[in-house]
A = this chain, B = another copy of it.
C-alpha cells in the first residue's frame, strides 16, 4: 500500500493549481495535532477533584518530522520561519547553521526542508515569504531514511512514504498549534442569591466555562459546587464536580478557576475571612457558525430545534464530545451522531476530521476504539457519511492505511463462524438498556460490521486499491448474507438479537432492525414486517436513550412515518423541555419522577443533562422533514423531498460543501433554491397538477412529481398536499 499511497498523493500534488494560495498556516504531520489535542482534552476530566483519565490506550504524535516542498521562484525572497521544536533548515539539502528565524530562498528551483524534533508538543512549522509559504501542499514524513555511504553519497532508493501536511486555521505566526484555546466571553448569572458571604447562582440555562470570582480577598476556604440541576449544586456531598481553593489574599483580586466546568447552577461557599464581591463566568466555545436552520408552524418543535442546536454547540468543542459535565471524552458512537447533526447545522468538516483522527489514533491497534466493538464500527460508518456529505477524497487517501489496519484488527477478531463476538477486553455496548444481553454473536454488531466492510470497499476504490476493494466487497456481502441466514426470524418478521452457542435466541430488540431499514438491507416486505412487529410494537423493549431514539426515529422517517415521529419528538424531547431542560439529556425515561431523572451509574447526579446524542431533532428535521440529502458525494446530486408530517409549514436551510439548499414549504407551495454546485431533485406528492414557472415539473406516477433544481436557481412550485 505504501507504493500506492505515494502514487496517490503525488497525483494530488501535481494536480494542485499552479496559482497555489499564498496563505501561510502552521502545518504538521496529518493527524498528529488531533491526537495531541485529544490527549490534552481527555485528560482534563476530574470527578469531585480526582483526576479521571480514559481507560484506553492514548497515542502520541510522531516526535521527529521532516517537512519539505519544492519551489520555483522568479526572484529570491526573504522568508520568516517559526517552529515548534528543535529544528534545522535546508535548501537543496544544505543546512543553515543554528536555528534561523529568517532565511533567503534564491531564485530558481529549490527544495526547502525543515526537520523538527518535539516531544511535548506536535512538531509544527510556519513559513511565510511572498510565494514560499507553509500550507497543506507540503510533504511530510516521520522517517526520511536519508543515509549516506562512506563517501558521503546519499542513498538513491527511497522507501519513504510522504503524506500531505496537516493544518487547520492557525494562520498567525504567533499562535502555534500548542497555544490553541477555545474562545471565551464573559457572562453574568441571571440570578444571584447571597447567603452571608456565600453565593448561589443560576446562569439561566446549561452552560460551560470557568467561574470567575471578583474581588476575592481574605483568608480561608472557597468551595465551589457545580450543578446541572439546582439539586446537584446544593448537594455538596454528591455533586459530580467541584473546586476547592485555599485563599490567603490580602488585597482584592479577580480569580478565574483553572478548570472549565459544565453547569447551570453554582454554589459558592466561603469560610474564614474570605469575601467575594461577585461571581460571573467565562463562557467557552468553538466559534463556528450555523449554516443550517429550521422553523415551522409548531412552536414546541421550534423550541426543540433551538435547544437541540444549543446542545450540539455546547458539545462541539476541541472535538465532538459526549457530554460537557462528566466525561468530555471523544466517544466514537456519540461522535457519529454529532457528525450527522453537524451536516445539517454547521457543516464544519474540520470538526469531523479532527474527531475521526483523534479517535483513530495510531498503530498498532490494541483494542477497539474506546474499547467498544460497535464504536470501532461506527468509526468506519462515520467515514462513509463524511465522504457522502463532503466528497473529501484527499482525507480518505491520506488515512486509508489507518482504516486498513483498524479493519485488520476487526478481521483478526472474528470467531470461527466469521462473526464478531466479544472477546476478553471487548466492550459490546449497543445502548444503555436494562438487562440487554451482550452474549454470543449479537446481530447488531454483524450489521455494523457489514456496513463497515462496505465502507472499506468504497474507500479502497477511492484509494485506487482495486484488489482490496474486491476483497472488502466480498467480505461485506458474506457478513450480510450471514446476518440474514443467522438472525432473520420469518415468524417474528424480524432480526433476532443474538445467537448463543450457534443457536439464534428468540429475543427481538430494536437495534439491528431499525438500522437495517436505513441501511436499506431489507426487502420491502421485510421492512413492513419490521415496522409493524418491532418499531411500532410496544411489547418490544423500549429505548430510553436519545442515542438510540436517534436511529429509531430515523428508521421510521425513512419509512415515511414523519407524522408519527413528529408526535414522538414532541412527547420525548418536549417531555424533557416540560421538565425544565435547557439542553437535552443523556437518558430520559418519562416514567421517572423529579430528581430521579438526574441519577445514573449508581450516582445521584451521574447523568449528563447536556449530551450531544440528545440533539438528534436537528438531523431528523433537516434530513427527513426538509428532506434534503446527498445522492452523490459532496451533494453533486441531491434530493429534496419535503415532508410536513402534520406541520402547516416549515422553512429552513441545509448546508452543503458549496452553499445551502434553501426551502420553504407549506401545504400549497414549495419554494426552493439550489446550491452553488450540485444538481438537486425536488420530489413531492400533490393532489393537483403542480405549477412551476422556473422549471418543468415531471409526473412520476401515483401523484408523485419531480423537479430538477439547477445550481443557484430559485423555484416556486404551487401544489396541493
A residues apposed to B, CB below 8 Å: 36, 39-40, 43, 47-58, 60-64, 86-88, 95-99, 115, 117, 119-120, 142-153, 155, 157-160, 363-364, 366-367, 371, 405, 422-427, 432-434, 600-603, 606
**Contact residues of A: prevailing secondary structure:** loop
Q: How far is the CB of A178 from chain B (nearest CB, A)?
A: 11
Residues of B within 8 A of A36 (CB): 119
Q: How far is the CA of A88 from the CA of B51 in the complex (A)?
A: 5
Given contacts A53-B64, A64-B54, contact A606 B152 (CB under 8 A): yes
Q: Are the C-beta atoms of B425 and A158 separated by less than 8 Å?
A: yes
Given contacts A48-B97, A145-B425, contact A364 B364 (CB under 8 A): yes
Residues of B within 8 A of A52 (CB): 88, 95
**Please, could you name 17 A-B residue pairs with CB atoms under 8 Å apart, sorted by A?**
A36-B119, A39-B117, A51-B88, A53-B117, A54-B64, A55-B143, A60-B61, A60-B119, A119-B119, A142-B366, A147-B371, A147-B427, A150-B433, A150-B434, A153-B602, A158-B424, A158-B425
- A55 CB contact (under 8 Å) in B95, B97, B117, B147: B147
Q: Are the C-beta atoms of A63 and B49 separated by less than 8 Å?
A: no
- A64 CB contact (under 8 Å) in B58, B119, B366, B600: B58
Q: Are the C-beta atoms of B63 and A39 separated by less than 8 Å?
A: yes
Q: Are the C-beta atoms of A157 and B424 separated by less than 8 Å?
A: yes
Chain B, Cβ-Cβ closest to A155: B427
Residues of B within 8 A of A96 (CB): 50
Q: How far is the CA of A142 from the CA of B151 in the complex (A)?
A: 44
Q: Are the C-beta atoms of B367 and A152 separated by less than 8 Å?
A: no
Number of copies of this chain in the oligomer?
2
Residues of B within 8 A of A95 (CB): 47, 50, 52
Given contacts A51-B86, A95-B50, contact A152 B601 (CB under 8 A): yes
Residues of B within 8 A of A50 (CB): 88, 95-98
Q: How far is the CA of A43 from the CA of B120 in the complex (A)?
A: 14
Residues of B within 8 A of A88 (CB): 50-53
Q: Are the C-beta atoms of A150 and B432 separated by less than 8 Å?
A: yes
Q: How far is the CA of A115 from the CA of B39 in the complex (A)?
A: 14
Q: How far is the CA of A147 from the CA of B364 in the complex (A)?
A: 21
Given contacts A39-B119, A64-B57, A425-B145, contact A87 B367 (CB under 8 A): no
Chain B, Cβ-Cβ closest to A424: B159
Residues of B within 8 A of A367 (CB): 143, 145, 159
Residues of B within 8 A of A153 (CB): 602
Q: Are the C-beta atoms of A98 and B49 separated by less than 8 Å?
A: yes
Residues of B within 8 A of A146 (CB): 55
Q: Are the C-beta atoms of A159 and B425 separated by less than 8 Å?
A: yes
Q: How far is the CB of A279 from chain B (nearest CB, A)?
A: 23
Residues of B within 8 A of A159 (CB): 367, 423-426
Q: How far is the CA of A157 from the CA of B423 in the complex (A)?
A: 9
Chain B, Cβ-Cβ closest to A367: B143
Q: Are the C-beta atoms of A58 and B51 separated by less than 8 Å?
A: no
Q: How far is the CB of A498 from chain B (nearest CB, A)?
A: 17
Given contacts A97-B48, A145-B367, A367-B143, contact A152 B602 (CB under 8 A): yes
- A145 CB contact (under 8 Å) in B97, B99, B371: B371
Q: How far is the CA of A557 from the CA of B115 in the complex (A)?
A: 46
Q: Could you list 16 further interchain pairs (A-B, Cβ under 8 angstroms) beyond the known A58-B64, A60-B119, A159-B367? A: A39-B119, A52-B88, A52-B95, A53-B86, A55-B144, A55-B146, A60-B60, A60-B63, A119-B120, A120-B120, A142-B366, A147-B371, A150-B600, A152-B601, A152-B602, A363-B364
Q: Are the C-beta atoms of B601 and A143 separated by less than 8 Å?
A: no
Residues of B within 8 A of A115 (CB): 51, 53
Q: How far is the CA of A157 from the CA of B427 in the complex (A)?
A: 9
Residues of B within 8 A of A151 (CB): 601-602
- Chain B CB within 10 Å, residue with most, of A47, A145, A427, A433: A145
Residues of B within 8 A of A600 (CB): 150
Q: Which 6 A-B pairs have the closest CB atoms?
A: A159-B425, A152-B602, A120-B120, A60-B60, A159-B424, A150-B432
Given contacts A43-B117, A423-B159, contact A145 B56 (CB under 8 A): yes
Chain B, Cβ-Cβ closest to A365: B364
Residues of B within 8 A of A39 (CB): 63-64, 117, 119
Q: How far is the CA of A422 from the CA of B159 in the complex (A)?
A: 11
- Chain B CB within 10 Å, residue with most, of A47, A117, A151, A434: A117
Q: How far is the CA of A502 from the CA of B52 in the complex (A)?
A: 60
Residues of B within 8 A of A145 (CB): 55-56, 367, 371, 425, 427
- A63 CB contact (under 8 Å) in B58, B371, B425: B58
Q: Are the C-beta atoms of A143 and B57 separated by less than 8 Å?
A: yes
Q: Are the C-beta atoms of A160 and B425 separated by less than 8 Å?
A: yes
Q: Are the C-beta atoms of A57 and B142 separated by less than 8 Å?
A: yes
Q: Are the C-beta atoms of A62 and B57 separated by less than 8 Å?
A: yes
Q: How far is the CA of A48 from the CA of B602 in the complex (A)?
A: 64
Residues of B within 8 A of A98 (CB): 49-50
Q: Are the C-beta atoms of B601 and A87 separated by less than 8 Å?
A: no
Chain B, Cβ-Cβ closest to A433: B150
Q: How far is the CB of A145 from chain B (nearest CB, A)?
A: 5
Q: How far is the CA of A43 from the CA of B405 in the complex (A)?
A: 30
Q: How far is the CA of A61 from the CA of B150 in the complex (A)?
A: 33
Chain B, Cβ-Cβ closest to A58: B64
Q: How far is the CA of A40 from the CA of B64 in the complex (A)?
A: 11
Residues of B within 8 A of A149 (CB): 432
Q: How far is the CB of A437 from chain B (nearest CB, A)?
A: 12
Residues of B within 8 A of A405 (CB): 364
Q: Are the C-beta atoms of B603 and A152 separated by less than 8 Å?
A: yes
Q: How far is the CA of A152 from the CA of B240 in the complex (A)?
A: 14
